[in-house]
């Protein structure tokens, strides 16, 4: 089961990402290459699958989703331990 993404988590991630979208996306590429290279490869592969879509927009959406789920999972894990 996927963790619940709260409004607080969404606000946190969106404010972080949208301060400088290009830099945030590049940092996520680097982060995922180390943290979860299979996911990073899958995101990049899907993003370049169709020439009619915007590679950067697809990647940004995937990286945002990953980060939202990652933080929600960490938050949920912390709640269970308390």
- pLDDT tens, residue by residue, 17-65: 999 999 999 999 999 999 999 998 988 888 777 677 788 888 899 999 9
Structure letter (DSSP) for residue 5: -
pLDDT of residue 80: 55
Token pair 């370049």 is found at: 48
Between 15 and 52, residue with greater pLDDT:
15
Res. 8: pLDDT tops 90:
yes
CA 17 and chain centroid, separation: 10
The residue ranges of DSSP E strands in 2-75, in sequence order, are none
**pLDDT beyond 90 at 7:** yes
Give the model's pLDDT for residue 5. Answer: 95
The helix/strand/coil state of 23 is helix
Buried b (16+ CB within 10 A) or exposed e, 49-71: eeeeeeeeebbbebbbebbbebb
């Amino acid at each position: 089961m996927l963790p619940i993404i709260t409004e607080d988590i969404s606000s946190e991630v969106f404010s972080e990402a949208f301060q400088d979208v290009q830099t945030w996306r590049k940092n996520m590429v680097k982060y995922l290459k180390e943290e979860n290279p299979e996911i990073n490869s899958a995101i990049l592969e899907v993003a370049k699958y169709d020439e009619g879509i915007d590679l950067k927009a697809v990647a940004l959406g995937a990286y945002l989703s990953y980060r939202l789920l990652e933080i929600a999972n960490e938050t949920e894990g912390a709640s269970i331990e308390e």
